[in-house]
Structure 1
Amino acid sequence: MRFSLSLLCSLFAAYAATAQFSDIPVDAQRVVQTVRPDAIRNHMRILANDSLKGRKPGTPGFAMAAEYVMAQFKALGLKPAGENKTYKQNVPLRRWAVREDKSALTLISNGKEQPLTYGQQFIYSPAPDHATSDISAPVVFVGFGVTAPELGYDDYTGIDVKGKIVAFLNGAPSTFPSNQRAYYSSAKAENAVAHGAVGTLAFNLPTDLRNRIETAAPRARQGVYRWVDKQGHPQRTYPGIQAAASLSDSTARLLFANAGIPIREMFAKAQKNMPQAFPLNVSVRMKAQTDVVEDVAGLNLVAMLPGSDPVLKNEYVVFVAHLDHLGIGRVVKGDSINNGAHDNASGVAINLETARLFASLPKAPRRSILFVGVTGEEMGLLGSDYFASNPTVPKANIVANSTLDMPFFFHPLLDIVPYGAEHSSLNTPVRQAAAFLNVGISPDPIPEQTVFMRSDHFSFVRQGIPALFIKSGSQTGNPDLNGTKLNLDWRATIYHTPQDDMNQPFDFNAAGKHAQLQFLVGYLTAQADQRPVWNKGDFFGTKFGEADKSK
């Protein structure tokens, strides 16, 4: 009797476990347990090796990394899904830079001209659409330069800026939801063009220590990259803006000398998130020359695991990680090679292990799975934007994207921040996978970093495709170790330096759990009867997709 009771209890426990995760098929449960943290380590060691010289697009080091990844695709039996039956998709990139000796900015007030000093008082952003710019116009202040009707906020209310130059604060109102704050912080030029402005002047709140002239000038001098179409036209630009400058704090104060509203009062209203717009009673002459510096042969990599369903195999779940990094830069602590171990050899390595998990299934999921290694993320999400705009499969058939970039595995993976999950039905597979792996789900611990806009998933959001960007949360399991502080300290000291190499305290078991999450979320999405949909009334779904706009 005791034996029968024990057997009954065991059977009940097994049934309960199966019932708890009945939404995850047994095959997937078995495969996910075969994850190999050491394989992730080995992929990273190869991709972050000094011999690849930091994997800058267009260099031999990037080509070496691409060859390695393609060899892994082939070994896993994944089908070429790039151009001309290869794993490759060519991405034409071009770089522009400002000629400082041919550029000037002059304030004009009460008939007097005040020339400003380049690199100290102002810098220009390159204008790919305008080889030369020479405009003189009155300046109008427009707060944060934001128009957000769904949030009842508009800095352009009651002001005419047609043919004028607009000045605005960097960032967006702090009361905005994190992801919308990120979006509106980056949409200033687009909004200025929509209101008829011809030039922009940007500056910071006194409390905003980012984007200072002294730190922004060296980056600006490197120029900007864009991908170009078959006619050579740059993309993701706004030709209506003929010149765009960033100003130092002291220069911004000069703009307000005759405004009638003291700058301290303007700052106070901005910090209270109050829309504001008024003329500054000053004009500016913006004269700039933008030169083409180089063309770069960019390269995306695309591989496919064909789906098993005769109909749904024509739909695609896309996994993305950027393969590029910064190449060779200035010497820091005796090293000049930006190996990019965490950024983003880690994401590529985890996606390769995720691909192996999918290839290990006894039967492929119903939908097809694409694995895409993109170029030019560090140049402004260029490779992913090119692929999302010009996919090698029908765009309408891409149902979801999951991007991995710097997932942060310097401690055990106890919780995740699934950026994007709150916007679509992808939240369901995320929660199912997290529950199976006993991983918690946490809110964004660093909303001021505007993470949602800063990686390749956003290229898919722009095309109306629900997307995820899963990163580690802040729980470490150690009361003496603050995960958020660890993250911020890493960003302040290691991020985009040669010290982002393999000599870091990575937790590869946590990396393995990231691969398990990627696999399970993608598998559940690929198996579902219905493709993912944006939530009703969602901001990004309404703006870019086909979300229900009834709310």
Structure 2
Amino acid sequence: MKTRLFFLLTASGFSALAQPGQQAALSIPAEAQQTARNVSPQAVEAHMRYLADDKLEGRKPGTRGFELAAQYVEQQFRTLGFQPMGQNKTYRQAVPLRKAQLREDVSSLTLIQNQQEQPLTYGKNFILSPNFGEAVSDVKAPVVFVGFGVSAPELGYDDYAGVDVRGKIVACFNGAPATFPSNQRAYSGSAKQEIAAARGAVGLITFSLPTDVRARIESNAPRNRQATYRWTDPQGRAQRTFPQLKVVAALGDSTARTLFAGAGRTFEEARQTANRSKPQAFDLNVSVRARTQTDLNDGLIGENIVGMLPGSDPKLKDEYVVYVSHLDHLGIGRPVKGDSIYNGAHDNASGVAINLEAARLFASLPKAPRRSILFVAVTGEEMGLLGSDYFASNPTVPKDKIVANLCLDMPFFFHPLLDIVPYGSEHSSMVGAVNAAAQFVGVTIAKDPIPEQAVFMRSDHFSFVRQGIPAIYIKSGSTTGDSRDGTKLNLDWRATIYHTPQDEIDQPFNWEAAARHVQLQFLIGYLTAQADSRPVWNANDFFGSKFGKSGKGK
């Protein structure tokens, strides 16, 4: 392995990569070009080898292994001269977590139709989400079907238009209309609880379309039986929860069909309407009685690790470009092929390692960027983006001074990096920095090859989007330079290695591709930190309109 990459690209030799309708690429100063060329693939590999070692036991929050990983990141920050930006002049930010474990044996769900009761079987007919606000939650209410349960008038779609669901339980399909753009579809499909609660519903029941095998309760039974977590505020209130919803349930396919037995329309008619992306809502003429019993525990404290390179501009140094990657993984669990340590080499020792090498490049600049650079290794991503959501909601710097976020999580470097998918670039002015970095590295910009995976919603950058902060999340594209299909490689990896003990360091990683990811991370953040103006959302952008105007987030 070479000690460094020799990318023989000069400013005059760059090829234009801006797509139609995108901004032209920015100019990269000579000192930043030279710094980027000094990237070390071996440094990325060394970081990953330590973080994915068996002795770290899968880096689960609250364990010895996570503490070893946290100490390692702290030491890297100290060595680079990054200032501690956690709490109490340390690199640590405590993240208070609440654990909720559903009690299946004393929880129940019963359908009531024509005064006849039909008790359902847990795990076969239905599953329940735990209630983070109270140990025992009881409800009985009529059920209203609301299509996809989506209210997006800005996209010309609203399942709730003209229907009153106050005091009722709403039932809906998983997902969102197929006519929505990929990122907007992903968000709308995830916001069902929030929308139902805002409309006055007292419960939510979801079920999958017959073609959506991945969302069925049978497919997700092991995961759905695990404890879930939320972070809590100083008053002890669990966040990203909706106490108004006394029951949140998912039904199996055949059980969902029985809801429509006494309705004016059949399940099949509702399915066809959903497939045409048409809003719909009607009474199901059935009621539900549910009890949700939850064991609650507030004993776990996660920790984010935060380091800062101060900016050089007297005014702009009080603004921040924030890099984030999740340090946690799944710990020790069910053995697979004789191995019980879920090392998380690619998920996400890779992202932490690449960001650490990007941090080294920043520290080696002859002059720091104008804005300050903040690196955060977050906890609890595997629990639901908890560490990043906590930091973005409670940053250790003024929230309104955070101008941009760059996230890295499972970038996928199992082949040469020839094209990238920069999630988020289509939503803000950060596209200019993305284009310039792509030109320098020599990669093209591709469309999302797996929109069905809802990648835009699935990592820590979205915690910053929720707070109105433009964010970029880069993944490898599908071009491999040989006969292999990069999309197939990605999907096969997700099907066989993802979230298993086989995600280890001995996989066929392409370290030069990893180094190119470092260059992209470094240059996008550098250009953002150097710009006269902070990034802005595009005019009338879906996420900018939803989260960016107030600047307060949700």
TM-score normalised by the shorter chain: which range applies? over 0.9
**Secondary structure of 1:171's match?**
coil
1:162-217 CA-to-partner distances (Å, cap 9, x unmatched) read: 10011100000111000000100100001101111101111000000112212322
Which amino acid in structure 2 is aligned with residue 484 of structure 1? T
The structure-2 alpha-carbon separation of the partners of 1:119 and 1:401, relative to structure 1 and needing over 3 Å to count, comes to same
**Secondary structure of 2:334's match?**
strand
Which residue of structure 1 lines up, in the alignment, with residue 107 of structure 2?
103
Q: CA deviation at 1:263?
A: 1.1
2:96–2:298 contact (8 Å) kept in structure 1: no
Which amino acid in structure 2 is aligned with residue 542 of structure 1? S
1:412–1:510 contact (8 Å) kept in structure 2: yes
Which residue of structure 1 lines up, in the alignment, with residue 372 of structure 2?
368
Q: Within 5 A, what are the aligned runs for 1:40-55?
A: 40-55=44-59
Say whether 1:404 aligns with 2:408.
yes
Q: CA deviation at 1:236?
A: 0.9
Say whether 1:308 aligns with 2:312.
yes
Which residue of structure 2 lines up, in the alignment, with residue 150 of structure 1?
154
Which amino acid in structure 1 is aligned with residue 207 of structure 2? F
Which residue of structure 1 lines up, in the alignment, with residue 273 of structure 2?
269
Separation in 2, partners of 1:22, 1:169: 44
1:74-100 CA-to-partner distances (Å, cap 9, x unmatched) read: 111111111111111111111101111
Q: Within 5 A, what are the aligned runs for 1:119-268?
A: 119-268=123-272
Q: CA deviation at 1:145?
A: 0.2
The structure-2 alpha-carbon separation of the partners of 1:138 and 1:434, relative to structure 1 and needing over 3 Å to count, comes to same
**Secondary structure of 1:229's match?**
coil
Say whether 1:528 aligns with 2:501.
no
Q: CA deviation at 1:293?
A: 4.0
1:415-443 CA-to-partner distances (Å, cap 9, x unmatched) read: 10000001000000000110111110011
2:213–2:219 contact (8 Å) kept in structure 1: no
Which residue of structure 2 lines up, in the alignment, with residue 491 of structure 1?
494
1:318–1:398 contact (8 Å) kept in structure 2: yes
- Mean Cα deviation higher: 155-164 or 414-423: 155-164
Q: CA deviation at 1:547?
A: 8.8
2:15–2:439 contact (8 Å) kept in structure 1: no
1:536–1:547 contact (8 Å) kept in structure 2: no
2:14–2:440 contact (8 Å) kept in structure 1: no
Which amino acid in structure 2 is aligned with residue 257 of structure 1? A
**Secondary structure of 1:364's match?**
coil
Say whether 1:116 aligns with 2:106.
no
Which amino acid in structure 2 is aligned with residue 138 of structure 1? P
Say whether 1:290 aligns with 2:294.
yes
How many residue pairs get aligned? The number is 535
Which amino acid in structure 1 is aligned with residue 468 of structure 2? G
Q: CA deviation at 1:322?
A: 0.3
**Secondary structure of 1:218's match?**
helix
2:26–2:432 contact (8 Å) kept in structure 1: no
Structure 2: tracts of 5 or more residues without a match: 1-8, 17-24
1:241-294 CA-to-partner distances (Å, cap 9, x unmatched) read: 111000000110111111121111111111111111111111110111111145
| Structure of higher CA gyration radius | 1
Q: CA deviation at 1:18?
A: 9.2
Which amino acid in structure 2 is aligned with residue 40 of structure 1? V
Which residue of structure 2 lines up, in the alignment, with residue 541 of structure 1?
544
Provide the identity percentage. 68
Separation in 2, partners of 1:16, 1:82: 42
- Mean Cα deviation higher: 368-377 or 125-134: 125-134
Separation in 1, partners of 2:522, 2:148: 40
Say whether 1:509 aligns with 2:508.
no
**Secondary structure of 1:537's match?**
coil
Separation in 2, partners of 1:14, 1:451: 33
Which residue of structure 2 lines up, in the alignment, with residue 29 of structure 1?
33
**Secondary structure of 2:304's match?**
strand
Separation in 2, partners of 1:190, 1:422: 25
The structure-2 alpha-carbon separation of the partners of 1:253 and 1:426, relative to structure 1 and needing over 3 Å to count, comes to same
Which amino acid in structure 1 is aligned with residue 404 of structure 2? A
**Secondary structure of 1:296's match?**
strand
Which amino acid in structure 2 is aligned with residue 291 of structure 1? D
Which amino acid in structure 1 is aligned with residue 407 of structure 2? T
Separation in 1, partners of 2:222, 2:10: 61
Structure 1: tracts of 5 or more residues without a match: 1-12
Separation in 2, partners of 1:501, 1:94: 30
1:285-328 CA-to-partner distances (Å, cap 9, x unmatched) read: 01111111452110000000001101100100000000000001
Which amino acid in structure 2 is aligned with residue 440 of structure 1? T
Which amino acid in structure 2 is aligned with residue 348 of structure 1? V
Which of 252, 255, 279 aligns to 2:283? It is 279
Which amino acid in structure 1 is aligned with residue 144 of structure 2? V
1:541–1:547 contact (8 Å) kept in structure 2: no
Say whether 1:77 aligns with 2:81.
yes
Separation in 1, partners of 2:38, 2:224: 46
Which amino acid in structure 2 is aligned with residue 504 of structure 1? Q
Separation in 2, partners of 1:415, 1:19: 14
1:494-520 CA-to-partner distances (Å, cap 9, x unmatched) read: 110001011211001000000000000
Which amino acid in structure 1 is aligned with residue 233 of structure 2? D
2:14–2:439 contact (8 Å) kept in structure 1: no
Which residue of structure 2 lines up, in the alignment, with residue 4 of structure 1?
none
Q: CA deviation at 1:221?
A: 1.7
Q: CA deviation at 1:158?
A: 2.0
Which of 438, 444, 447 aligns to 1:443? It is 447
1:534–1:546 contact (8 Å) kept in structure 2: no
Separation in 1, partners of 2:456, 2:95: 24
Separation in 2, partners of 1:231, 1:238: 16
2:26–2:435 contact (8 Å) kept in structure 1: no
What TM-score, normalized by structure 1, do the two folds share? 0.95
**Secondary structure of 2:290's match?**
strand
The structure-2 alpha-carbon separation of the partners of 1:280 and 1:22, relative to structure 1 and needing over 3 Å to count, comes to closer
